[in-house]
Amino acid sequence: MTDKTEQDRVLIFDTTLRDGEQSPGATMTHDEKLEIAGLLDEMGVDIIEAGFPIASDGDFEAVRDIAINSRNSVICGLSRANFKDIDRCWEAVKHAARPRIHTFIGTSPLHRAIPNLDMDEMADLIDRTVSHARNLCDNVQWSPMDATRTEHDYLCRVVEIAIKAGATTINIPDTVGYTAPRESADLIRMLIERVPGADEIVFSTHCHNDLGMATANSLAAVEAGARQIECTINGLGERAGNTALEEVVMALKVRNDIMPYQTRIDTTRIMNISRRVAQVSGFAVQYNKAIVGKNAFAHESGIHQDGMLKNAETFEIMRPADVGLTETSLVMGKHSGRAALRAKLRDLGYELADNQLADVFVRFKALADRKKEVYDDDLVALMQDQTSPEDDRIVLASLRVVCGTKGPQTADMTLLIDGAEQSVHATGDGPVDATFNAVKSLVPHSARLALYQVHAVTEGTDAQATVSVRMEEGGFIGTGQASDTDTVVASAKAYVNALNRLFQRRKKTRPDAEVKSAS
């Protein structure tokens, strides 16, 4: 095996905040984007694609602030192939210590038909726009959108034009998840062999997961010569999602014997950022998801359990600690003190200031009074539970429900609305429906309930339920999440959280363009 000090570096380009956020319903707040960017920076991501600055004032401000606060990562913004987009992108990313402009245009026959450009006209546009970007920034990435369905001769032609115009990274997007591993590798290999100047730039791969092959396609491209992988946390993204960062990074780590490439990702931070992205996006991680799923390190089969007891390597190819999972699961109870709680939360990836610990400790004690045993997952849910920030219009004060086999089910609710206490009695088809009807009665709105999900945090009848709610109204989306040992209370809190975020976004967001990218 090649010595690791001599291995080629594979750059990790994370687009959770851009392509990941384009997943319907995954919109994040300004503060959440800054928080996720900070976590990506800390874990060693080489390039963070922070957003699409021309899309809205909010997106521009988020990219700009991420650029200002970045410490290690290159901060990248996306722009279409026109001067206005590129200028706006530069205005946002120029504040970074290491800025990058990423510009793209669709080059396949289907995409060339959209702007109604022939091959020569598009080639000229690519030359002019990449040159313009390079005059602003010395780090320019260019993407031929839908590259895997572009004629090979034309793809070689436009890649050569982009390199001559100053692109330092050429990204080859499988925009609709159409390719397969061998084809992905052949495409990169062909470009390296046929395009003049290909040996002077970095080739990147950007794969979508429509056929479930995004990770395999990305790794195949690396073996063929690509040295940058575009990916997202938890595989978040449009349709079936993008290449999952945790999958490609751990594949390169675990199978370094046959894929001798390095990344600079601190893999012990994977679980923490996975949980946080799941929370802020409202997209729960499926239980059998590779690397970060709840069952990724669970063994129920008798044969598997016996093998694990004798030698963990029998059925585990990586250690839970490699991705940031603690080795223990049952430690805390109602007699645990602040020091023990702080130490346990530190093990789970949470560093708290004294005032934060004080707030969490109160909620931990309340939970411990209701649960005999508090597991790691309970503490994670406690940390992820959305408490009401000071600018929330609505706060749940009290809730009492009556349910059973004979309806109607009822909910008696009191909310603090703009600081004033208001109460109502409502009915519904079940306790959750009655609860939501009570909220709507006190806070009239026309938002549509687009998602309602309930997950048990741990096992047992006293398990906490984590509820996720997504509301949509007038093009705005608000997501909320809350945990409680009472599922109906968790549902009420999540619904109220979603409404608060919807109202805040409607108030603060001022979209100036309906811009979406499919690269």
Instruction: Give me the phi and psi of 146, to 5 degrees please.
Output: 65, 40
Strand partners, 416: 395, 421
Identify the bridge partners of residue 295 per DSSP, sorted by sequence position. none
Report the C-alpha dihedral over residues 119, 125, 131, 135, rounded to 10 degrees. Answer: -170
Rounded Cα distance, 475 and 76, in Å: 26
Residue 386: name the closest of 419, 363, 367, 414 by CA: 363
Structure token digits, residue 5? 């000090």
In angstroms, the CA 22 to CA 516 distance is 8
Q: How far apart are CA 328 and CA 312, in angstroms?
A: 15
pLDDT at residue 513 in the model? 39
- d(C-alpha 129, C-alpha 91), whole Å: 16
> Averaged over 316-339, what is the pLDDT?
77
Paired with 78 in beta bridges are 102
Most trustworthy range by pLDDT among 253-267, 270-284, 343-357, 452-466: 253-267
139 is in an annotated binding site: no
Q: Annotation-wise, does 391 bind a ligand?
A: no
Alpha-carbon distance of 381 to 482, in angstroms, equals 8
pTM of the model: 0.82
Sign of CA dihedral 24, 25, 31, 33: negative
Which architecture does CATH list for 4-281? Alpha-Beta Barrel (3.20)
Please spell the DSSP secondary structure of 38-98, one letter per residue: HHHHHHT-SEEEEE-TTS-HHHHHHHHHHHHH-SSSEEEEEEESSHHHHHHHHHHHTTSSS
Write down the residue that tokens 């109906």 correspond to. 488
Tokens of 457: 């945090």
| Mean pLDDT of the 289-313 span | 61
Task: Please state whether the peptide bond connecting residue 408 to the residue before it is cis, i.e. omega within 30 degrees of 0.
Answer: yes
Helices (H), 117-203: 119-136, 152-165, 181-194
Query: Does the annotation list 242 as a binding residue?
Result: yes
Fold observed for domain 394-508: Double Stranded RNA Binding Domain (3.30.160)
pLDDT-derived band at 381, boundaries 50, 70, 90: confident
Tokens of 241: 């999602």
321: amino acid identity, one letter: A
Residues 30-47: tens digit of each pLDDT = 888 999 999 999 999 999
What is residue 307's predicted lDDT score, i.e. its pLDDT? 44
E-only strand ranges, 323-407: 330-332, 374-375, 394-402
| pLDDT for residue 90 | 98
Q: Is 57 annotated as a binding residue?
A: no
Q: Which of 447, 435, 414 is nearest to 482 (CA)?
A: 435
**Cα–Cα distance, 283 to 470 (Å, whole number):** 10
Delimit the domains of the chain by residue range: 4-281, 326-384, 394-508
Cis peptide before 109 (omega within 30 of 0): no
Stated as kind and residue range, the H or E segment containing 414 is strand 409-417
Burial pattern 431-448, b for ≥16 Cβ within 10 A else e, equals: bbbbbbbbbbebbeeebe
Q: Give percent above pLDDT 70 in the chain.
A: 90
Lowest mean pLDDT among 77-81, 177-181, 235-239, 376-380: 376-380
Q: How would residue 23 be classed by pLDDT, with cut points 50, 70 and 90?
A: confident
CA–CA separation, 454 vs 489, rounded Å? 12
What SS3 class is residue 394? strand
The number of residues in the chain equals 519
pLDDT at 426: 96
Q: Determine the pLDDT at residue 304.
A: 39
**pLDDT averaged over every residue in the chain:** 88
**Beta-strand relationship, 74-80 and 47-51:** parallel
Please give the Cα distance from 30 to 68 (Å, whole number). 14
Query: First CA to last CA across the chain, in angstroms?
Result: 36
Is 232 within 8 Å of 245 (Cβ atoms)? yes
Confidence of residue 331 (pLDDT cuts 50, 70, 90): low
Three-state SS for 10?
A: coil
